[in-house]
Amino acid sequence: MGASTATTEPSKGNASAAPTTGGGVCGAADVSGGPAEPAVVAVDIGGTKVAASLVDHTGHLLTRSAAPTPDADDPEAVFAALAGVVRSAVGGSPVQPVACGVGCGGPMEDAGETVSPLNIRAWRRFPIRRRLAELLGVRVWVDNDAKALALGEQWMGAARGSSNFLAMVVSTGVGGGIVLDGRLLDGTDGNAGHIGHVVVEPDGRKCTCGGRGCLGARHRQGRASQSERGGQDGCSHRQAPVTCRIDYSLRPRVPTRGASLEL
């Protein structure tokens, strides 16, 4: 996730302290030496599923594991599910990871040291960076999932070669990551670009953030209505990433699904 791209430095404050050694899934990995072709653990934490992959330096997925996010009040139950998919991803390859990058639903605190995903009620200021560092024995970076998506799209996807764009995740909730002049916007605590909580319907549906009329709340209302009509929710099991490249000349272009949109 954030640790894999060469175009943007790690977000301020997102890097872990000295790596935890011993007792982790990977043992005491040597970050400085490492294998000739290092790999990282990429972790995705959302309200619908948790997933992990082992990814090499070219962006190739060596392993992949996923499980439903527990609908639980116990924070350890959620972490146990996450730990299970992480162990599965790491154990599925002889390659030893040298770092871990995490994309998690927001908001977060202390630039990713703790997280409070609105769609995971059991986690409030959950110390995700420290817990994964203890599990894996390597350095861990944490960022908002949509910001991590933005870095990935800039590195390997629809925004490759673009310096100004907005990446959106439309899944259990709605999130966004903004890159301007080639740099990811962080904000004070790492929550910049969280467009799911922009008010689009004043006095509208109550949102999990405590406000009313947020874009994310409107999105969830639409999903609920579709489910009641017996329709299939295309976002219930898979993220639908959208990337919008910002062209300062403001020349309109035709949008294409799955590609980029220039304005």
- Residue 56: what residue type? D
Whether 158 and 132 map to the same domain: the answer is no
Dihedral sign from CA coordinates of 56, 192, 214, 256: negative
Please report, for the domain that includes residue 153, its CATH number. Answer: 3.30.420
Q: What is the pLDDT of residue 89?
A: 96
Is residue 95 within 8 Å of 136, Cβ to Cβ?
no
Same domain, 6 and 106: yes
Question: In this structure, are 190 and 80 located in the same domain?
Answer: no
DSSP states of 151-198 as a string? HHHHHHSTTTT-SSEEEEEESSSEEEEEEETTEE---SSS-TT-GGGS
Q: Same structural domain for residues 204 and 155?
A: yes
What pLDDT does residue 252 have?
A: 36
Q: Rounded distance, CA 14 to CA 10, Å?
A: 7
The answer to whether residues 164 and 231 belong to one domain is yes
User: What's residue 25's pLDDT?
Assistant: 65
Domain of 107: which CATH number?
3.30.420.40
136 and 156, same domain (yes or no): no
Residues 128 and 153 in one domain: no
Q: Which of 144, 161, 191 marks a domain boundary? A: 144
**Which of 122, 144, 166 is the last residue before a domain boundary?**
144
Whether 49 and 89 share a structural domain = yes
Q: Are residues 54 and 169 in the same domain?
A: no
Identify the domain containing residue 27 by its residue range.
2-144
> Phi and psi of 112, rounded to 5°?
100, 0
Q: pTM for this structure?
A: 0.70
pLDDT for position 133 = 97
Q: How many domains does the chain divide into?
A: 2
Beta-carbon contacts of 60 under 8 Å, excluding residues fewer than 6 positions away, are none
For each of the chain's 263 residues, which pLDDT tens digit applies?
Answer: 433 333 333 334 444 443 443 456 654 333 334 444 789 999 999 989 999 999 999 999 999 999 999 999 999 999 999 999 999 999 989 999 999 999 998 888 887 899 999 889 999 999 999 999 999 999 999 999 999 999 999 998 989 999 999 888 887 778 889 999 999 998 887 788 888 888 888 888 888 778 888 887 777 665 555 555 555 544 444 444 455 544 433 333 433 333 333 32
pLDDT of the residue at 135: 97
